[in-house]
Amino acid sequence: MKNMILAPSMLSADFGNLKKDVEMINRSEADWFHLDIMDGVFVPNISFGFPVVKYINKYAEKPLDVHLMIVQPERYIEEWKNAGADILTVHYEACAHLHRTIQQIKAAGMKAGVSLNPHTSVDLLEDVLPELDMVLIMSVNPGFGGQSFIGQALNKIKKLRAMADKSNPDLIIQVDGGVSSKNHKEIVAAGANALVAGSAVFGAENPEEMIKILKKA
Ligand code: DX5
Ligand code: ZN
């Protein structure tokens, strides 16, 4: 598919040598840096925060796609912008006033994304869909890299693409979790146009080559 966006997840990068992995992504055919922020409350894991994102932003030559797996994400919108986020994605399940949060993200000058856990139906986005730049379909339960792809995500992607064709044809549908060279074509065929890949990229013998393979979806 033309213009498929590939965003390697830095959660699987080598944090002892982060600059090297940032430079590898800069050189590669990847489009964005996917940065997973976990608070130990919304998900059962803690990842990294502002100082690491600022450091990545200092060396990154591509947009930062920040995926917030935190409760009450509306508390930190300006801070993420200041840290370098270009796209800010919040979880549907973490927002009491999702519409307001989306407007705040856009007012801060970022693209706005909403992510759905595997159990959350795409139908729930109908009323905010025209406002969104991106929907992130989680194809694993968020919190960890290296899990297996949940097949039901394919039906959700198809349904969401049909909804978007009516109310937001430019919507980016991103898929995150268990994406690899074994399933990337099927995911894009279902209607996704952005893929996140962590362990598939950084666990590969040649990450740059794997990025090239995943880009040919
Ligand atoms: C999971 C994160 C993902 C994760 C993907 O909660 O949102 O971005 O890094 O890792 P893989 O590609 O290994 O499933
Ligand atoms: Zn993610």
Strand-pairing partners, residue 176, are 138, 196
Question: Tokens 């969401």 belong to which residue?
Answer: 160
Atom of ligand 1 nearest to the CA of 198: 12
3-state secondary structure of 56: helix
Question: Tokens 């925060």 belong to which residue?
Answer: 49
Question: What pTM did the predictor assign?
Answer: 0.98
Catalytic residues: 36, 176
pLDDT in tens, the chain (217 residues): 568 999 999 999 999 999 999 999 999 999 999 999 999 999 999 999 999 999 999 999 999 999 999 999 999 999 999 999 999 999 999 999 999 999 999 999 999 999 999 999 999 999 999 999 999 999 999 999 999 999 999 999 999 999 999 999 999 999 999 999 999 999 999 999 999 999 999 999 999 999 999 999 8
**Ligand 1 binding pocket includes 8 (Cβ within 6 Å):** no
Reported as half-sphere exposure (CB side, CA atoms, 13 A), residue 128 has a value of 20
